[in-house]
Amino acid sequence: MSFDQPAAGFGSEGLQLPSFKKPIPRDDVLSVWASFGYGDTRAFIAENHGMSVQKVSAILAVPLPADWKESVSQLRSSWK
């Protein structure tokens, strides 16, 4: 008997994680990844985004598709 959770999914509404009822909006996911890549801690990101550390950790645990990675890079470079 297996208790595997369904995989995370990327869609038009954002990132759907099995442990959360609603999809996380794409802009929030991109901002979390950009902040993390900028050197911010998970706790700092959670506080600034109004999210739990658990949610931030769940977002960062999912590899992003290539087009989302490009958007993260663009967002991060716009902060410099």
Question: DSSP string of 8-33?
Answer: PEEETTEEE-TT-SSPBPHHHHHHHH
Residue 47 confidence (pLDDT) above 60? yes
pLDDT (average), residues 27-46: 92
Domains of the chain, by residue range, sit at 23-78
pLDDT bin (cut points 50, 70, 90) of residue 4 is low
Model confidence band, residue 36 (pLDDT cutoffs 50, 70, 90): very high
Helix then strand then coil, % of the chain, to nearest 5: 50, 10, 40
Position 33 scores a pLDDT of: 94
The model scores a pTM over 0.85: no
